[in-house]
Amino acid sequence: MAKDYSELTQEELIDLIYRLEKKRKYGLVWDEEQAPEEVVQNCSKFLPVLKPLEVKGIVKKGLEDHVLIQGDNFHALSVLSYTHKNQIDLIYIDPPYNTGNQEDEEGFVYNDKRVDSDDTYRHSKWLNFMSRRLELSRDLLKDSGFCFISIDEHEFAQLRLVCDQIFGEENFVNFLTWKKRSTGGQVKDGSIITQTEFIFIYAKNKKIGKLNKIDNPNVGTEKWRDFRKSGGQWQRRHRPKQYYPFFYDSKNDVLLLGRLKKTDVEIFPLDSKGEEGFWENGVDTATKRLKSGEFKVELIKSGLLKGTYKIKQLEVASDVQNVGNFVDIPSVQGANEIRELGLAFNNAKPLNLIEFILKIASNKESLILDYFAGSGTTGHAVIRLNSIDGGNRQTILCTNNEANVMAPKGISTDVTIPRLIKASNGYKNDKNESIPGLGGNLRIFETDFVKNSKNKDQIKFDIAEKCAEVLCLKEFTFDLYEEHEDWKIYRKDNKYVAIYFSLLPNNLESLRLAMNAIIGSKILYCFTLDPNGLDFYQFDNWNDIELKDIPQKILDTYKRIFNI
Ligand SMILES: C[S@@+](CC[C@H](N)C(=O)[O-])C[C@H]1O[C@@H](n2cnc3c(N)ncnc32)[C@H](O)[C@@H]1O
């Protein structure tokens, strides 16, 4: 029922005006309260951490590490908010498209129920779900980083507006139109075949982030075009110094920038009506280019200037080019790639599509995040590109273990993990041919929880006891090197990370001796209840150690994102 404003007091009216003035003037509004997300709400009661998954990943010396986190991506992103703030170069996600489909991955599960197309809150639910995850993941990007998001027509408009809100409209780069098929499957009479999907591109900060040019297939090809400036401000008055004559000896086909013979013909930059323009370079550059054979003369065969000459310049296609925003890669490639691995998953993106994104938005050392990993295409594409160009890119992938008819034990168990292991180690394809492995280690974790408690010390003890894997992820050191009651040391090459879990200092001395015996880069995470951190003087006799305290900063992150 409409409010009767005449009954409000002056104070109430003023308060109302203030509130209306504060309201967003333009953008997207949705119902956040009607159907809040339980996963998000429960985080104030159970704080997410990580634990190793029973299934073994791939652990080989000297290979780059990739990480798979099995669990809800809101939990994984919360952990990453502590471990990887401002550290990710590229995020690619392919979220559920909210198609209303009850079966496949493009449908959308919210509060453990599939959202169908008749649900009047379907867009609100999807926006609740996406906005929380996009907000967390935006903060994980480096200032130079980019976020690519796949979407189809169902939530295209909503995604654009919510991303403008989260990334800022000024950081919208473009969207790719991906042509995934040429013909449709079953299409209703008189309707339109859906051939495309879209990939939104946002920069964390468009002033800082730059996309790569990619290899130009026309590299080295020659093209001749007019040396006279055309388009925009092309008249002589705009660049008077670039209006000068070439001299042409037509009998001997000799072109010069000074007169040699009386009979030489002068060639000026004139348009088809004879109006004076200017050359694209000044006379000094033109002299150099003339010497290297970059100009030729062409007879004008029609129009007002028929019988006179014009100058053409040589253009050689460079080895790289900016990409366009149209990509034509059949989606059936993705389906074939899954089948060839002996696995079953609908709507896996083609490796070539993800490789295209990696080429334009990553370099050989980039850290790449996909938190709707599904069948693991992004992980597969990263190790494949690394094996092609010798790169050292690393990925963090997250997927839930949603079960379906094709993956009865869950997507992660039945598809993502086997796919990544097969791609790294090699496998026999569906024709019994041996496909060599692409390399790379795989570290597999699942989400776990620490019960929140009113007792602030208790919660610190509980987090410290369960934070080893979180710290391993933070430092990307996953191999246990040495362990003892109260402490562990993890290692990657010559980097060593020690964790001291106990409040009692009894075993600190044994850890000091172990760490002092190590030569390499060394970090110590040490437990303290003091919210202000550790007393650095206590660690004077530790050699070359970088000292960090736990678990206050983990708690601070959770306070910020869960409002606890
Ligand atoms: C469209 S698929 C991604 C497909 C992927 N790009 C590929 O090529 O295989 C979306 C995936 O996100 C997973 N997913 C949905 N909600 C999730 C959540 N809250 N946390 C983690 N994964 C989720 C689904 O299980 C599904 O596998």
Neighbouring CB atoms inside 10 A of 313's CB total 18
Q: For residues 245 and 305, give the distance between their C-alpha atoms in angstroms, rounded to a whole number.
A: 16
CA distance 232 to 503: 72
For 561, list phi and psi in degrees, rounded to 5.
Answer: -90, -20
Q: Look at residue 553 in the predicted model and tell me its pLDDT.
A: 96
Starting from the edge strand earliest in sequence, which strands make up the sheet with 521-527, in order?
Answer: 479-484, 487-492, 495-500, 521-527, 545-550
Q: Which atom of ligand 1 is nearest to the CA of 372?
A: 12
- Give per-residue pLDDT as tens, 411-458: 999 999 999 999 999 999 988 999 999 999 999 999 999 999 999 999
* 417 sits in which H/E element: helix 417-425
Do residues 349 and 376 touch, judged by C-beta distance below 8 A? no
Mean pLDDT over 269-280 rounds to 96
Owner of token pair 């495309």:
196
- Distance from C-alpha of 166 to C-alpha of 311, rounded to nearest angstrom: 52
Overall residue count recorded for the chain in this entry: 564
> Of all atoms in ligand 1, which is nearest to the CA of residue 93?
6
Question: Taking residues 18-32, what's their average pLDDT?
Answer: 83
SS3 299: strand
The structure tokens listed for 269 are: 């930059």
CB of 137 closer than 6 angstroms to any ligand 1 atom: no
Report the separation in Å between the CA atom of 109 and the middle of ligand 1, taken as the mean of its atom positions.
10
Bridge partners, residue 499, by sequence: 488, 525
Q: What is the mean pLDDT of residues 524-551?
A: 94
**What separation in Å is there between the alpha carbon of 36 and the centre of ligand 1?**
20
For residue 270, what pLDDT is reported?
Answer: 96
Q: What is the mean pLDDT of residues 516-520?
A: 97
Torsion angle in degrees (nearest 10) through CA of 178, 179, 181, 185: 80
Instruction: Name the residue of 74, 400, 401 to mutate for ligand 1: max ligand atoms within 8 A of Cβ.
Output: 400
Pairing of strands 309-316, 222-226: antiparallel
The token pair at 179 is: 């042509």
Query: What's the pLDDT band for 52 if we cut at 50, 70, 90?
Result: very high
Q: Would you state the structure tokens that stand for residue 31, as one six-digit string?
A: 């119902």
The span from the CA of 545 to the CA of 515, in Å, is: 8
What atom in ligand 1 is closest to the CA of residue 95?
10
**High-pLDDT (> 70) share of the chain, %:** 98
pLDDT (0 to 100) of residue 215: 83
Q: For residue 35, which of 129, 101, 98 has the smallest C-alpha distance?
A: 129
364 versus 214: the higher-pLDDT residue is 364
Whether ligand 1 lies within 6 angstroms of the CB of 105 is answered as: yes
For the residues 287-310, what does the mean pLDDT come to? 95
Tell me the CA end-to-end span of the chain in Å, nearest whole number: 36
Cα–ligand 1 centroid distance for 387 (angstroms): 26
pLDDT in tens, 132-189: 999 999 999 999 999 999 999 999 999 999 999 999 999 999 999 999 998 766 667 7
3-state secondary structure of 98: coil
- 461 closest CA partner among 506, 489, 511, 503: 503
Look up tokens 């490789």; give the residue.
355
- Could you please report the per-residue DSSP string of 300-343? --SSTTTTSEEEEEEEE--SEEPPPSEEE--THHHHHHHHHTT-
Q: Which domains does the chain have, with CATH numbers?
A: 10-215+323-445 (3.40.50.150), 222-316 (no CATH), 453-562 (no CATH)
- The predicted model gives 246-251 an average pLDDT of 95
552 backbone dihedrals φ, ψ, rounded to 5°: -55, -40
- What spacing in Å lies between the alpha carbon of 94 and ligand 1's midpoint? 7
Give the model's pLDDT for residue 1: 47
Q: For position 185, what pLDDT does the model report? A: 63
- Compute φ and ψ for 186, nearest 5 degrees: -85, 120
Range in 32-41, 45-54, 229-238, 544-553 with the lowest mean pLDDT: 32-41
Q: How confident is the model at residue 84 (pLDDT cuts 50, 70, 90)?
A: very high
Q: In what order do the strands lie in the sheet with 367-370?
A: 46-52, 441-451, 65-70, 394-399, 367-370, 88-93, 141-151, 196-203, 172-179, 326-328
Residues 6+ apart with CB under 8 A from 261: 249
3-class SS at 136?
helix
Rounded distance from Cα 347 to ligand 1 centre (Å): 10
**Gap between the Cα atoms of 273 and 271, Å rounded:** 5
Q: Which of 66-75, 255-264, 362-371 has the lowest mean pLDDT?
A: 255-264
How does residue 35 score in pLDDT terms, banded at 50, 70 and 90? confident
Q: Got the DSSP string for 17-45?
A: HHHHHHS-SSS----SSSS--HHHHHTTT
